[in-house]
Amino acid sequence: MTATRATILLDQLASVYDEVLPFFAGFARQHMAWVAPGPGTRVLDLGAGRGALTGAALAHGCRVTAVDCAAGMVERLADRYPRVHEARVMDVHQLDFPDGCFDLVCAGFVVHLLDDPAAAAREVRRVLAPGGVFSFSVPGDVEDAPEWEFYGALFREFQPLIPEGQGRLSRPLDAERLLSAAGFTGIGGTAIEQRLPVPDADTFWDWGLSHGSRAYFDALPADARTEFEARVRAELSAMDPIVFAAGARLWRGASAA
Ligand SMILES: C[S@@+](CC[C@H](N)C(=O)[O-])C[C@H]1O[C@@H](n2cnc3c(N)ncnc32)[C@H](O)[C@@H]1O
């Protein structure tokens, strides 16, 4: 497997990932509610991280297999979810599973990080049983949260200070085209949002350093990072309580029956 900036950073962050605020866990519950698998559904959680979707699928009574290329993530997922059927270190571009052995393959905030999403989508199709579903989430927008517009605006403002090839891990993705090119049908999407209570500004800043956005902060020159942090804290000081509003987009497609 070729290590990428994303895989290296996320492996390093495994001990804190989704522990500061239950951000990915919150979206995973909504994701699984949208797909609504029945008990006994054979689920593959792709790029499972610490198991946000695994936990949500187990709560639906599914039989869950989880894979991630980061050993530190897989180890923690297996500790937290002893009911997981199998948790393995694996590259999603080359799935070590036979054809047609899953009913649902889900991926939370993974596909937009991949080197070759088309190759991964073809692998997903291969391991899905006829009529099986591939669903995944990507970052999205939030409506009616003007108090949080400052956060995205700060990322855009400081972007010119980031050296080329560094910074944010997300890559542009045309989800609909990805699914149709891989042969999925019944393609659809929906927007979801969550509003997460944040105890204080320290917690919010620590959260920003505990997942993929860390790549952006680490790429900023030291004085710019200090200024970015100060401006975030100034905005948060005007919020009481602090409730973080964030959006995501869910996508799904079916394998021919
Ligand atoms: C943003 S995290 C999302 C984790 C989890 N799905 C969630 O919703 O919290 C992205 C995960 O994808 C994994 N990942 C990235 N590229 C991968 C690849 N090529 N093969 C397997 N896992 C990969 C990372 O190690 C990381 O755990």
Residue nearest to atom 23 of ligand 1 (CA): 47
The reported pLDDT for the residue numbered 3 is 87
- Classify 133 as helix, strand or coil: strand
CA–CA separation, 248 and 255 (whole Å): 23
Q: How much distance in Å is there from the Cα of 17 to the middle of ligand 1?
A: 11
Residue nearest to atom 27 of ligand 1 (CA): 49
| DSSP category for residue 221 | -
CATH code at position 114: 3.40.50.150
- Global pTM reads 0.96
- Classify 61 as helix, strand or coil: coil
Give me the number of domains the chain comprises: 1
The reported pLDDT for the residue numbered 230 is 98
State whether the beta carbon of 24 lies less than 6 angstroms from ligand 1.
yes
Report pLDDT digits (tens) over 141-155.
999 999 999 999 999
Pocket test for ligand 1, best of 9, 68, 88 (most atoms within 8 A of CB): 68
- Classify 113 as helix, strand or coil: helix
Atom of ligand 1 nearest to the CA of 18: 9
Residue nearest to atom 13 of ligand 1 (CA): 47
Q: What percentage of the chain carries pLDDT values higher than 90?
A: 97
Residue nearest to atom 10 of ligand 1 (CA): 110
Helices 52-59, 23-35: crossing angle, 10 deg rounding: 40
Give residue 144's domain range. Answer: 5-254
Atom of ligand 1 nearest to the CA of 14: 27
| φ, ψ (nearest 5 deg) of residue 240 | -150, 105
The reported pLDDT for the residue numbered 224 is 98
Side by side, which strands form the sheet with 42-46? 86-89, 63-68, 42-46, 102-108, 128-140, 242-254, 185-198
Given a cut of 50, the residues of the chain with pLDDT beneath it are: none
